[in-house]
Structure 1
Amino acid sequence: MLKINHCNAECPCTFSKAYCMAARYRYVHGISSSEIVKKFAFSSIFKYGEELLTCFAKPKNESRLPQRKGARIALEKLFSFMSSGLELTESCLRKNIKGVPESDWSVVVAHHLLSKLAVSSFYLIDQSRGKQNRCPCQCGESLTGTYGDSSIGSPEVWHGLLDILMSVSVKFMSFEDPDSLSGSGGHYIVRGKETDLKSIREQIIAQSIVFSFFQRKLHPEYVHHLIPSIGISKDMLVVYLYDCNNDILLESSEMPYLTTQGALVKPTIVALWLVLNYEFLCSGITKGMNDSGVKSNFTQLVHEKLKLYDKVTVPCDSSCSGEEEQWTWGARPENDEPAQRFSDVNMLQPWKLSDSS
């Protein structure tokens, strides 16, 4: 559980410039009298998903499929991926992890991993990352997603572009090798050049908070609005979840999803599956979280600007469709005449200050 001490959520700034100092909640241990971080099991907020897997794993005569269509499709997608899609995904990721632009890497991960685990295989890619119709890896498959305007938020507060937009928001960490930048400005992924996911922590938190408000606006019928957002690097991922109804912000540990040999880490894949299908598998905040009384403090920090977060849109207002405003000359200047014209400019005398000045 996180508590935000300071942030610039009241200011009109993009996610890339979001400032959000958040610390994990600590409590005094009854025996040692030392302060320790309050932790909850990842599965504790995905009880529906845990029960779904537990019921299906029982002996054949006792196992049962979920009655809800969405949950049933989610289970089918997980088993299909684990049984027949795992090796292909590993092969594609292994071949493209080195020497490809980060913009292409994000599409490869979205196409071969995220869309294979989610009930809906559709995803929206930030249009600044390209316009191709096929996966940039060697598989040549048609994308199940599309490029478009992935902006979200309100121009008066936090806003900006999401790398990938699904039922969750996804932020990919950029990897930059100064000696091998593409001509289009893309960042190349090079082993050994990676940065810790904590370098984009504030940006993901900002995206997670805005996305939760958007989902509440889009789906007020949801039982809860504990909405996840994902941060992904070359081999690790982290999940942030914000509940805008209860002002509770959660942060997972960083989880390895890809080994140095290019093999997918199955426990992390199951965790990713739970997150991508949270509409059917997430049970919301726990009793312990609620009883702790710990809030993120976001609603207190933004004061009257909170009403703007209730109105966030996708796509965002046109004034925030890009991360940075590019400088231009503006409108074409008008031709005009001097207020006072002299017949012979050669007869003009030097300017003189008036006596009163």
Structure 2
Amino acid sequence: MAGRENSQSGETLNKSIVLALPHLDKVKFAVLEIINCNATQSVSFPDAFCKYEIDLVKLEREELKHEVRSLNVNFSTLFKTGFDFIDKCRGMNREDIEELNRNERKAITTLDEYFQNIGVHEQSLNKVFGMEKEKKSQSNSHSKTAITVALVEHLLGKLAPGQSFIINDGSNNKENCKCGCDVAPNYGSTGIGHEVVWHGHADIIFSSHHEENECIAKCESSLSSDESQQETTPYLSLKRRRIDGIEEDSPGEKLMTEVKGHTAGTSEQAIAQAIVFSLLQKQRHPNFQNHMIPNILISPDFFQIILYDAEHDILLCSNFIDLFNVNNEGRLSSEAVLTLWLVLHYRIFCKGFVFEEPTEVEIFKSNFQELVKEKWNIYTNCLKKSVPGFPVVDNGISIDTWNRKVLQGTEYCKGMKKRKLHVNF
């Protein structure tokens, strides 16, 4: 199957890239405020609890006075550098591409080559996803590993910087790709966090050209709408909300409250992983231009981008985006491919937040730092990476025991010896 055509034979950039760009305006991020979580306890990601609310803002323009709307951020605003870069690349020939800096040249070449071979990857993805759907109908069981490997080998990994990645080696079945290419993926240790707080293994960690961990992804067998389970999910309904008599649309058609993962708490795990990985990156690379780090929550049908800014304590969550064209079954959405490429190359293309006044950031804060202030030192200085396994910690004595080890001999610790060790959460 041939790749998507170029607009003119003299142009290097694939036509599908240019045509997809305007449609990315529909991708928006809701600003989340965390109300309650168990991030101060020794909790692995599958057991992470993170209840949030959508930030609301009153409009100050006279004609819209008294209206209250959800606080949203456009994808095109956060990734304006990437949007401008694609516009700059319109009509470029190969000589022009060679004049770009090394990272930009590699990035645009990676994207263009993917579109040239997109038909092959569509066939591979459809084959694996079709096999897994058939298995589910027969035994009510999906192979998450098979889906993860297919998504990495024929989509995410092909778009990532340097096409470098590690898949969690904790899987019971370290499978090769099931599409027929039989590629053996790169399995390894993806443990992040710390055993006295949130910790666990990311499904995938993508690396940069310089072997720095760049981005993570969480794969699920399915992310499907299930209205009947909403009451048991600790999320607000985002379809339409009525506040003081005013209804407000949500930022997208399928949002986190509508979407149930393969296991309960999928979205909570993704949020916890995004926060931990962003804080880990800030700890390891404090001189990054910004610390808005993504986690990609993806299934064979949809994906969602979760961003956490460790510098400003800002948590963003996108609307769900269709992976395949709705009216052209089996064809990957060009908008989805372009969105994933921009996110995976966020170090080049995401400019993050720029605040003119220090007080502006308070509107966007997620409240995570305040909720975990007793463990903030661990989140900012002690997080680990590439951990094969984490030791078990008793939550009943985790605070005092940990502080005693860190602060042994200080006046604080001497006074603490007189207190009871047991702490209830």
TM range (shorter): 0.7 to 0.9
**1:289–1:159: structure 2 CA closer, same or farther, 3 Å change rule?**
farther
Alignment-derived partner of residue 310 in structure 2: 244
Alignment-derived partner of residue 281 in structure 2: 215
Contact 1:160 1:320 in 2 (8 A): no
Alignment-derived partner of residue 50 in structure 2: 20
Aligned partner of 1:262 among 325, 330, 340: 330
Larger radius of gyration: 1
Alignment-derived partner of residue 297 in structure 1: 367
Give the distance between the partners of 1:40 and 1:288, measured in 2 at CA: 16
CA RMSD of aligned residues (A): 2.7
> 1:40 is paired with a residue of what secondary structure?
strand
Contact 2:146 2:175 in 1 (8 A): no
Are 1:196 and 2:256 matched, yes or no? no
Greater per-residue helix proportion: 2
Greater per-residue strand proportion: 2
Give the distance between the partners of 2:317 and 2:357, measured in 1 at CA: 13
Deviations along 1:291-320, one digit per CA (max 9) or x if unpaired, are: 352201110000120111122111237435
Q: Give the Å deviation of 1:121.
A: 1.3
**1:216–1:68: structure 2 CA closer, same or farther, 3 Å change rule?**
farther
**1:66–1:264: structure 2 CA closer, same or farther, 3 Å change rule?**
farther
> 2:390 is paired with a residue of what secondary structure?
helix
**1:130–1:76: structure 2 CA closer, same or farther, 3 Å change rule?**
farther
Give the distance between the partners of 2:170 and 2:95, measured in 1 at CA: 50
Alignment-derived partner of residue 83 in structure 2: 50
Deviations along 1:30-55, one digit per CA (max 9) or x if unpaired, are: 41623211112102111221121011
Question: Which amino acid counterpart does residue 155 of structure 2 have in structure 1?
Answer: L
Alignment-derived partner of residue 182 in structure 2: 140
**1:285–1:264: structure 2 CA closer, same or farther, 3 Å change rule?**
same
Give the distance between the partners of 2:356 and 2:319, measured in 1 at CA: 19
**Gapped runs of 5+ residues in structure 1?**
177-193, 322-357
Alignment-derived partner of residue 104 in structure 1: 146
Alignment-derived partner of residue 199 in structure 2: 159
Q: TM-score, normalised by structure 1?
A: 0.77
Alignment-derived partner of residue 274 in structure 1: 342
Bigger mean CA deviation after superposition, 53-62 or 5-14:
53-62
**1:44–1:63: structure 2 CA closer, same or farther, 3 Å change rule?**
farther
> 1:140 is paired with a residue of what secondary structure?
coil
**1:29–1:158: structure 2 CA closer, same or farther, 3 Å change rule?**
same
Alignment-derived partner of residue 5 in structure 2: none
Aligned partner of 1:86 among 118, 122, 134: 118
Q: TM-score, normalised by structure 2?
A: 0.65
Contact 1:131 1:147 in 2 (8 A): no
Question: Which amino acid counterpart does residue 80 of structure 1 have in structure 2?
Answer: E
Give the distance between the partners of 2:200 and 2:330, measured in 1 at CA: 32
Give the distance between the partners of 2:287 and 2:341, measured in 1 at CA: 23
Identity of matched residues, %: 30
Give the distance between the partners of 1:271 and 1:139, measured in 2 at CA: 26
Give the distance between the partners of 2:144 and 2:388, measured in 1 at CA: 27
Deviations along 1:140-188, one digit per CA (max 9) or x if unpaired, are: 2343xx1122111000000011111112111112459xxxxxxxxxxxx
**1:66–1:203: structure 2 CA closer, same or farther, 3 Å change rule?**
farther
Deviations along 1:306-342, one digit per CA (max 9) or x if unpaired, are: 1111221112374359xxxxxxxxxxxxxxxxxxxxx
Question: Which amino acid counterpart does residue 303 of structure 1 have in structure 2?
Answer: K
Alignment-derived partner of residue 385 in structure 2: 314
